[in-house]
Amino acid sequence: MSATILSAAEVFARAEPILRENDALFKVPGRLELLKSLNSGLGDFSQVGKFLTIYPRSAEEALRLARELHRATRGLPGPLIPFNARYRKESLVYYRYGAFHRSVDGTPGFIHPLKGRRYRDKRAPGRAVPGWLKDPFQKSRVNNPKRRGLLLRDLLVFKAKAQRGKGGVYEAVDLSVLPVRRVIVKEGRRHGETNWDGRDGYALVRHEAQVLRRLRAAGLPVPEIFREFTKNGNRYLVLEKLEGRPLLAAKQTQPSRPSWRGAERILGQLEPLLSKMHAAGWVWRDCKPSHILVHRSTVRFIDFEGACPIDQTRLLPWSSPDYTPPSSRGKFSRRAGTLEDDYALGVIAFQFGAGKFPPAAAHRRSALYRRTGCPDHLREKIDRLLGSKISRRRVR
């Protein structure tokens, strides 16, 4: 059964009496933070939405529980559970056959039919019910007539670049123009990674579209929006595919050849652009190397789901922990100003100069500056960015 962190308590309150009455076997996350982590899909995409996992003893028990749980929780929100079959349209109840145990190396286990060979438990679309079994929830098998890869009649998706609870990022071919063009499609899923403020993947993508239009109008180097549409309850942006490579890949923590000269060059490129963004009245709040594309001598910026007006305060912290100011972590509001972008810019400069993230303690940073030969003027600039002196500035 699926649930968001905001609907979980109500889902459990309605489901628990049914499970208790039927003496059903089930498991549930002990903390909402654990459910939040599961719904992000960052650890294991197949676990998105899995709030209540129930283990029926027979097909008859499964049918009875699914019917009662669906009726009890109808209308409550929850994200789609990947690779599972949905009991009914808009239901929180999903089902699949699977292995109870995985092998020692973490690979999926096997489903054991009563007779014959074992079948590997594949977490993939259309694999919820093994081919050698009749689906007890359906009177007949339903073949999907949709042409694989076609999101719209003139939009052909051919590669998933990223998948997580709030949505996916895909490479696609836009067939609506001649010559055809390669594009990026960004997906925002309804109820995907719903946060404490109620914003889900759908809301984030819709917000990002508004930000991108404002930033392009201000002359910032961000992708152009070709199309925006809703399908199957999810929100989609069709974006310009930018040339270039990220400053650092998402899982890369340091450049191959760190140097303070390189750090100063990068700072010289990024600082004027961020100042221009702030002058336009916006704070990025997700400034990090994987979101900065370099092509020849130019840089372009991507991912603006967390961006906000410079003086907006009623927002949860954003960005990756390594690029989030320590004073902002775990807070349920943000300070007005440019604190997040200033701090992230300082972290990036330090990364490219020293080859590691800056230590929180000033004396440890100083030791690294001395050991790696950082020029005094650059050290002072980076320390100002990492500190609080310029984080209170306003742009009107």
Distance of alpha carbon 365 from its chain centroid, rounded?
31
30 located within any domain: yes
Domain stop point among 69, 103, 120: 120
In this structure, the answer to whether residues 180 and 251 fall within a common structural domain is: no
In this structure, the answer to whether residues 74 and 38 fall within a common structural domain is: yes
In this structure, the answer to whether residues 250 and 377 fall within a common structural domain is: yes
219 located within any domain: yes
Could you read off the pLDDT of 37-74 as tens digits, one per residue?
A: 999 999 899 999 999 999 999 999 999 999 999 999 99
In this structure, the answer to whether residues 249 and 379 fall within a common structural domain is: yes
> Domain holding 199: CATH number?
3.30.200.20
Could you read off the pLDDT of 170-213 as tens digits, one per residue?
A: 999 999 999 999 999 999 999 999 999 999 999 999 999 999 99
In this structure, the answer to whether residues 185 and 88 fall within a common structural domain is: no
For residues 158 and 351, what is the distance between their CA atoms, to the nearest angstrom? Answer: 34
> Per the structure, how many domains does the chain have?
3
394 located within any domain: no
Q: Return the pLDDT at 112.
A: 65
Domain that holds residue 342: 245-386
Could you read off the pLDDT of 339-371 as tens digits, one per residue?
A: 999 999 999 999 999 999 999 888 899 999 999
Domain stop point among 240, 273, 302: 240
Residue 140 reports pLDDT greater than 60: no
Quote the DSSP letter at residue 271. H
Could you read off the pLDDT of 147-181 as tens digits, one per residue?
A: 556 788 899 999 999 999 999 999 999 999 999 99
For residues 349 and 361, what is the distance between their CA atoms, to the nearest angstrom? Answer: 17
In this structure, the answer to whether residues 266 and 333 fall within a common structural domain is: yes
356 located within any domain: yes
322 located within any domain: yes
Neighbours of 316 (CB within 10 A): 15
In this structure, the answer to whether residues 66 and 104 fall within a common structural domain is: yes
In this structure, the answer to whether residues 105 and 38 fall within a common structural domain is: yes
Neighbours of 116 (CB within 10 A): 8
In this structure, the answer to whether residues 259 and 281 fall within a common structural domain is: yes
Domain stop point among 190, 216, 240: 240
134 located within any domain: no
Please provide the average confidence, as pLDDT, over all residues in the chain: 90
In this structure, the answer to whether residues 201 and 219 fall within a common structural domain is: yes
In this structure, the answer to whether residues 265 and 224 fall within a common structural domain is: no
Strand, coil or helix: what is 101?
A: coil
302 located within any domain: yes
| Residue 134 CB contacts under 8 Å (≥ 6 apart), including other chains | none
In this structure, the answer to whether residues 272 and 362 fall within a common structural domain is: yes
> 155-164 and 167-174 as β-strands: parallel, antiparallel, unpaired?
antiparallel
